Amino acid sequence: MDSRTPDDTDTATTTDTDDRPVVLAVDDEPRVVEAFALWLEDDYRVLTATSGEEALEVADDSVDVALLDRQMPGTTGDEVLEELRNRGLDCRVAMVTGVDPDFDIVELPFEEYVQKPVDGDALHDVVGRLLDLEQYDDSVDDLYAVVQKRVTLEAELPDSALEDNDEYQRLRDRERDLQNETQSVIEDLDDDEFAKLF
């Protein structure tokens, strides 16, 4: 587990020859990030942070996937996500949280929404799917994120709330547009690839 702090960031970057994908796990509960690291460390290099502020100190271009808790004291997961995007970091992001999703997730720039509790197998699946997105162009990444948000909202909210919500309807419209844009790419995927991704 690479739980580096700001003081040893430079040393860790220059001396580390580990070329495994890098996962940043962020949660204000130390036991949660320790569990994430234990589950993932055989396959990935795992950086941990127990606050939004620490996450922003540790996050750099090496991060491939960020697992963000939404509800943290101080800098929230939503604010960390916004800052990662403002910095132009191209990591895939899963919000791993106990916060029930609502329509506010529609505009957040993440790829997947995972509700706690989560186990090691589920976490591996999430990280694997997000890393798989790297082989496709941005439109497939966008489609994946939109589909994940739609599925999350449909699983948590009643149909009546969805039907009457403008944000949800815009999300559906965006999904249709992206399906048209990515049709040739999606058609080239075999059934296993498609099922794994979507």
Number of H helices and number of E strands within the chain?
10, 5
pLDDT greater at residue 67 or residue 4: 67
Q: Please give the full DSSP string across 82-111, using - where no structure is assigned.
A: HHHHHTT---EEEEEESSPP-GGGTTS--S
Average pLDDT rounded to a whole number, residues 35-60:
98
pLDDT band at 195 (very low <50, low <70, confident <90, very high): low
Stated pTM of the model: 0.85
Burial 111-129 (b: 16+ CB within 10 A, else e): bbbbeeebeeeebeebbeb
Q: What is the pLDDT of residues 134-173, one digit of tens each?
A: 888 888 899 999 999 999 999 999 999 999 999 999 999 9
Judged against a pLDDT cut of 80, whether residue 182 lies above it is answered with yes
Please give the share of the chain, as a percent, with pLDDT higher than 70: 89
* Token reading at 23: 């996962």
Task: Please check whether residues 64 and 2 belong to one and the same domain.
Answer: yes
Strand pairing class (45-49; 92-97): unpaired
Task: Please check whether residues 166 and 129 belong to one and the same domain.
Answer: no
Domain that holds residue 194: 136-198
Q: What is the pLDDT of residues 76-103, one digit of tens each?
A: 999 999 999 999 998 999 999 999 999 9
| Amino acid present at 51 | S
pLDDT greater at residue 103 or residue 14: 103
Tell me if 149 sits within 8 A of 171, measured CB to CB. yes
**Predicted pLDDT of residue 198:** 66
CATH number at residue 78: 3.40.50.2300
**Predicted pLDDT of residue 4:** 47
Domain count within the chain:
2
Task: Please check whether residues 101 and 122 belong to one and the same domain.
Answer: yes
Task: Please check whether residues 3 and 75 belong to one and the same domain.
Answer: yes
Mean pLDDT (the chain) is 89
Task: Please check whether residues 55 and 126 belong to one and the same domain.
Answer: yes
Other Cβ atoms less than 10 A from the Cβ of 62: the count is 17
Task: Please check whether residues 30 and 99 belong to one and the same domain.
Answer: yes
